[in-house]
Amino acid sequence: MAQTKFFHHGRFALAGGVLPDAVTAYRTYGDPKNPCIVFPTCYGAKVADNEYMIGSDKAFNPDQFYIVTFALFSNGESSSPSNTPTPYNGPYFPAVTYEDNARAQYAVLTKELGVTKVYCVAGFSMGGQQAYYWAVMYPEFVERFICICGSARTSPHNQCFLEGPKAALVNAVDFKDGHYEKNAERGLRAFGRAYSAWAYGQSWFRRKAYLKNGMYTSLDDWLRAEWETSFYPQFDANDVLSLLRTWQLADVSKLYAHSTMDPSTRPGYMKVPDTFGDLHATLGAVKAKGLIMPSRTDLYFPPEDSTAEVDAMKSNATLVVVESDWGHIAGGGGCEEDTNFIRDQTHKFFRETS
C-alpha cells in the first residue's frame, strides 16, 4: 500500500545519550495537500501494521487526509538496539522517551514533508500515549488528538505488569545480559507467554475465544502459536526491552525528566514546565481537542484512568468507552466490530470538531 522511507537526523540527542545518525522510519498515504494525520506505531508493531485503520472505508481515509505513520524508536525499523552500529548497539543503546520520538517525528514532518499544521495525532496503546505528548509538546501545531487504549501516564499498576514479561526475558539463559550472539529465542518466547494474559478481557477467556472456532485445540496451543511467535523470531530481545522502557517512563506531566542532557546545552523548548509533575494541571492546559477511547475490559489502561484524564481536560476532550470483552486488543484491530466502532466514533469526532 505504501513504501517505508527513512529520515536521517544526523546527530540526535535521546534521553539516555546520543546517536551519531538517528533514523526515523515512516510511511505516507494520500495527497500532501490534504489535512495531515500523524499515526505512530504501538508496542510490538512495524510501521506497516498501522494499515488496519487506513483506507477508504476505515478510520483514516487517504482520499481525505494525508496520513503519516511513524515507527517508534526501538521497533527494529527506526533506530533500535538491533540496527545501530557500535558503540550504541544492543544493550548499549540509550534510553528513549516519548519526547524523543515526538521531536524526531516533528523534524520529519517539518523538514522533509513540509507539514505546517497537524489536523490530528492518533494512536493505539503506546501510539495513544504518544498522542498525549504531541498535544502537550506542540500546542500550536496539533489541532486534535485521539488516544485509543492508552493513557497520559503509565500507572504503577501498568508498570508492575511490564516487570513480569521483562523478568521472563532478562532471566532467560540465552539472554546473556543483552550480549547474545543469536537472538534470545527462549527469552522472547517466555516474554510472549507472560505478556499474553493481560491483552484480553477475562470474559474473552471465559468463552474460550482463544480456540478460534476450532483453529486451536487448547490454551497452550494458542499460546505457542500466537504469543510465542508474536515476539520471536521477528523481534530482537534488546529492541523489546528498549520499547518497554519507553512505555514505563511515560508521564506527560514530567517532560524531559529522564533526559541525561546537560541543562546548559538544552534548547529552549526542553525547559521544565511550571506544571511539572502535576498531571491534572498539565492536561488542563491542553489546547487540542481530544477523543479518548479506552476499552471497558483493558487491563493495561483501564477506563477509570481515562475518565480522570478527560475530567482534567474539561470541555476539550470527549470520553467514549469501547464496550468490548477483547480487552486491550479491542483497539488494535483484533475484533472487526470494535474496529468499526472506533472508526465511526473517529468520523463523528472529526465532524463535530471541524
Within this chain, do residues 19 and 132 fall inside the same structural domain, yes or no?
A: yes
Within this chain, do residues 34 and 95 fall inside the same structural domain, yes or no?
A: yes
Q: What pLDDT score does 273 carry? A: 73
User: Where on the phi/psi map is residue 118: left (φ > 0), alpha (ψ -120 to 50), or beta?
Assistant: beta
Percent of the chain with pLDDT over 90: 91
Tens digit of each residue's pLDDT (9 = 90 or more) over 61-71: 999 999 999 99
User: Where on the phi/psi map is residue 34: left (φ > 0), alpha (ψ -120 to 50), or beta?
Assistant: beta
pLDDT confidence bin for 163, thresholds 50/70/90: very high
Residues recognised as catalytic: 125, 298, 328
Within this chain, do residues 13 and 110 fall inside the same structural domain, yes or no?
A: yes
Q: What pLDDT score does 162 carry? A: 96
Place of cell 514546565: 273
Tens digit of each residue's pLDDT (9 = 90 or more) over 86-144: 999 999 999 999 999 999 999 999 999 999 999 999 999 999 999 999 999 999 999 99
Within this chain, do residues 145 and 285 fall inside the same structural domain, yes or no?
A: yes
Nearest to 30 by CA among 76, 72, 62: 62
Q: Which amino acid is at 144?
A: R
Residue 35 has pLDDT above 80, yes or no: yes
The residues facing 120 across adjacent strands are 37
Distance CA 84, CA 214 (A): 43
- Identify the CATH number of the domain in which residue 9 sits: 3.40.50.1820
Distance CA 247, CA 74 (A): 11
Within this chain, do residues 27 and 129 fall inside the same structural domain, yes or no?
A: yes
- Cβ contacts of residue 49 below 8 Å, gap of 6+? 41, 42
Q: What pLDDT score does 70 carry? A: 98
Q: What pLDDT score does 1 carry? A: 61
Can you give the residue range of the structural domain that contains 143?
5-154+250-353
Yes or no: say if 216 and 225 are a contact pair by the CB < 8 Å rule: yes
Of 184, 211, 246, which residue sits at a domain end?
246
Q: What is the residue-averaged pLDDT of the chain?
A: 95
Distance CA 204, CA 201 (A): 5
Query: What single DSSP character describes residue 23?
Result: E
Within this chain, do residues 110 and 190 fall inside the same structural domain, yes or no?
A: no
Residues making up the chain, counted from first to last: 354
Q: Where are the beta strands (DSSP E) in 207-333?
A: 289-293, 317-319
Within this chain, do residues 57 and 101 fall inside the same structural domain, yes or no?
A: yes
Yes or no: say if 132 and 145 are a contact pair by the CB < 8 Å rule: yes
Helix or strand run (H / E) with residue 202: helix 202-206
What are the angstrom distances between the C-alpha of 147 and each of 19, 40, 79, 205, 286? 29, 11, 24, 26, 14
Distance CA 328, CA 228 (A): 18
Q: For residue 246, how many C-alpha atoms fall within 13 Å in the half-sphere facing its CB?
A: 32
Within this chain, do residues 80 and 95 fall inside the same structural domain, yes or no?
A: yes
Is 2 or 238 the better-scoring residue by pLDDT? 238
Within this chain, do residues 181 and 257 fall inside the same structural domain, yes or no?
A: no
Tens digit of each residue's pLDDT (9 = 90 or more) over 237-259: 999 999 999 999 999 999 988 88
Of 246, 267, 289, which residue sits at a domain end?
246
Backbone phi and psi for residue 222, each to the nearest 5 degrees, phi listed first:
-65, -45
Within this chain, do residues 12 and 109 fall inside the same structural domain, yes or no?
A: yes
Q: Which amino acid is at 328?
A: H
Within this chain, do residues 226 and 99 fall inside the same structural domain, yes or no?
A: no
pTM equals: 0.95
The residues facing 148 across adjacent strands are 124, 293
Q: What number is the average pLDDT over the span 166-191? A: 98
The number of domains in the chain is 2
Of 246, 262, 280, which residue sits at a domain end?
246
Tens digit of each residue's pLDDT (9 = 90 or more) over 253-300: 999 888 887 777 777 777 767 788 999 999 999 999 999 999 999 999
Query: What single DSSP character describes residue 181?
Result: S
Backbone phi and psi for residue 41, each to the nearest 5 degrees, phi listed first:
-75, 170
Within this chain, do residues 188 and 227 fall inside the same structural domain, yes or no?
A: yes
Which range is least confidently modeled, 105-109, 199-203, 260-264, 342-346? 260-264
